[in-house]
Amino acid sequence: MNRVAWILNLRDPFGAALGRELVSRGWQVIGGDPQAAAGRDAHDGLAASEFTGLEQGREPTSGLPLRQEETVGEGSENASPWKPSAPDAQERSASGGEVHSPKLGENAYIPTGTGSSGFGDFEGSVAYGPESNERRTDGHSGDGRSEEEREHPDAHPGNEDSGAGEDFRIDDPGEQKELGASTAADEMTDAAGDSAAVLAGHGRLRVLPLAAEQPGALEEAARHTAEFAGRIDLLVLNPGESGPAWGEAAGLSAAGADTTEGRLRDYGAYALTPLQAAEQLLPLMEAEGGLKRIGFVSSHEGSVSAGDSSAPIGRAMARTALHMQAKLLFNDLRREGYTFRLYDPGLSPPRPAAPLGGESGSSSSAGEAMVSLPGMAAESARFAAGFFTNPHADEGRLVLTGSRGEEWPF
C-alpha cells in the first residue's frame, strides 16, 4: 500500500528534509509551502534548493512545467533564514541528480546520518516500509520500498504504473490555487501552480501553497489533499521554525518576539495552527488500513523543567502549549487506534560556551563553524523518518524525543 504523509511546512529546513527522506522511502508526501502562498517565486527556495536532486533530468508526466536546472539555488538566499547550502551545480549535474535508491544515503549530495537510534525498543531510521502500527515479527527489515515497487521494480516513481503518479498528477495547473491567500493576482496563481507542480515528474511529492494562518486555508488544503491522495497515513505537524534563528545564539531574540503581538503570533503559529490542521485533516486519516499516526515537531524549548531561558518567552510558552495539545489528542485519539510521536529535531544552534574567566565570542564562532544546518536537518530528518513511520514498543506513552533518541521531560 502506498503510504501518504502530510507535512504542514515543507519550507522549513527540517520539514523539507523529512519530506525528501520519506519520498526516498517510497512514501507519497503532500506538504504546505507558506512562502509560495505569500506570492514568493515558487522556483526559489525549497523548490529549487531542496528537491533538485530528485527532479533533475525528469520529464514532466503531468503536463506541468518542471523547474529548470538553471534556477537551482537562485533566490534561495531569501527562501529561509536557514538557507540550505546547495552543492555546486556542476557537481549536481554530474550526479544525474536522480534518486532511484530507497535510501538517501546513496545520494552523495544528501547528508546522511548513522541511521541508528540507539533505542532498544525502536527500529531506528532503517526503512522498514510498508509501515503499520504492528511491529514486524518476521525479521524482515524491508528495503524502504512499497509493495508495489517490489512487484514492479522497473516502475519509475513518476510512472503511472507506480500508483504514485496517478494519485499525484495535476491535470490542470490552472486549477492549482493559492490556499489561504488572495487569488486576485494572476502571477500569484501561476506561482501557486508552479509550486504545486514541484516534483510532478517524480510523482511522489506535492507542494501546496499554504498560508495556514489565513482563514479557510487549511480547509482548502484538506480538500485538495482529498482530491490528490484520498487519505493521509502520517500527519506531520511542524509549525513555525524547527529551531531558533542563528542570531539567537548570540543572545539576540527574534525581532518583535517579546511583544504581545509577537507572543500571540507565536501562539498562533506553534499551537493553534497545528490544532487547526489536525481538526481539518483528521477525517482523511480514517481510511481503513491507514497508519493513523500524528507526529508533532517541537523543541525542548517547550520543556518546563529542562528548557533554558534564553529563548523568546512567547515561543517557549507556545511550544509548551503544543506539547499539551499533543497530550490531549493522544488521550483522545489513541482510543481509536491513533499513534503519536513528539519530536525535537535538535536544530537549535549551539549555545556559546560559558567562558572560564574569559570572554565569550570566540567559542561561539568556533561552534557555528562546526555546524551545517542542512546537514543537521538531514541527519535529524533521517532519524525522524524512522521514528515517525516505524512502530514503537510503547505506543501508550507520549514523550518528547530528541534527534539522538534522548527523552526530554515535559
Partner 1 sequence: MNISLNLDTKPGHTDHHAVVTGADRGLGLAMTQGLLARGWRVFAGSYLPDWPQLGDLREQYPDLLVILPLDVSSDASVLAAAAAVEERTRSIDLLINNAGVISERSEDSIRISQDYEEMTRLYQVNALGPIRVSEAFLPLLERSELRRLCYVSSEAGSIGKAERTAWFGYCMSKAALNRGVRMLFDRLRPDGYTFRLYHPGWLRTYMSGTRNEEAELEPEESAAPALEYFLGSTLPWDDQPHAVDEDRLVMRDYQGREWPW
Residues that bind partner 1 (CB under 8 A): 260, 263-264, 267-268, 271-272, 275-276, 278-279, 282, 302-305, 307-309, 311, 313-314, 316-325, 327-329, 331-333, 409-410
Closest CA to 345 of 385, 299, 302, 391: 299
How many whole angstroms separate alpha carbon 151 and alpha carbon 387? 26
Smallest separation (angstroms) from partner 1 to the CB of 146: 30
Closest CA to 157 of 213, 201, 218: 201
Half-sphere exposure in the Cβ direction for 171 (13 Å, CA): 5
For partner 1, which is the closer residue by CB, 56 or 303?
303
For partner 1, which is the closer residue by CB, 37 or 342?
342
Under DSSP, the state recorded for 270 is: I
Smallest separation (angstroms) from partner 1 to the CB of 104: 34
Smallest separation (angstroms) from partner 1 to the CB of 136: 30
Strand 339-344 with 28-33, pairing: unpaired
Beta bridge partners of 408: 400
Count of residues making up the chain: 410
Q: What is the 3-state secondary structure (H, E, C) of 166-209?
A: HHHCCCCHHHCCCECCCCCCHHHHHHHHHHHCCCCCCCCEEEEE
For partner 1, which is the closer residue by CB, 37 or 282?
282
For residue 287, which phi and psi values (nearest 5 degrees)?
-60, 145
Under DSSP, the state recorded for 310 is: T
For partner 1, which is the closer residue by CB, 307 or 405?
307
List the grid coordinates of 156: 519509475
Smallest separation (angstroms) from partner 1 to the CB of 398: 9
Smallest separation (angstroms) from partner 1 to the CB of 142: 32
For partner 1, which is the closer residue by CB, 193 or 295?
295
Beta bridge partners of 30: 6, 206
CA dihedral 275, 276, 279, 284 (to 10 degrees): -110
Closest CA to 48 of 89, 76, 9: 76
For partner 1, which is the closer residue by CB, 328 or 371?
328
For partner 1, which is the closer residue by CB, 210 or 316?
316
CA-derived radius of gyration, the chain? 20
Smallest separation (angstroms) from partner 1 to the CB of 321: 4
Smallest separation (angstroms) from partner 1 to the CB of 407: 13
Smallest separation (angstroms) from partner 1 to the CB of 322: 8
Residue indicated by cell numbers 525498543: 121
For partner 1, which is the closer residue by CB, 90 or 260?
260
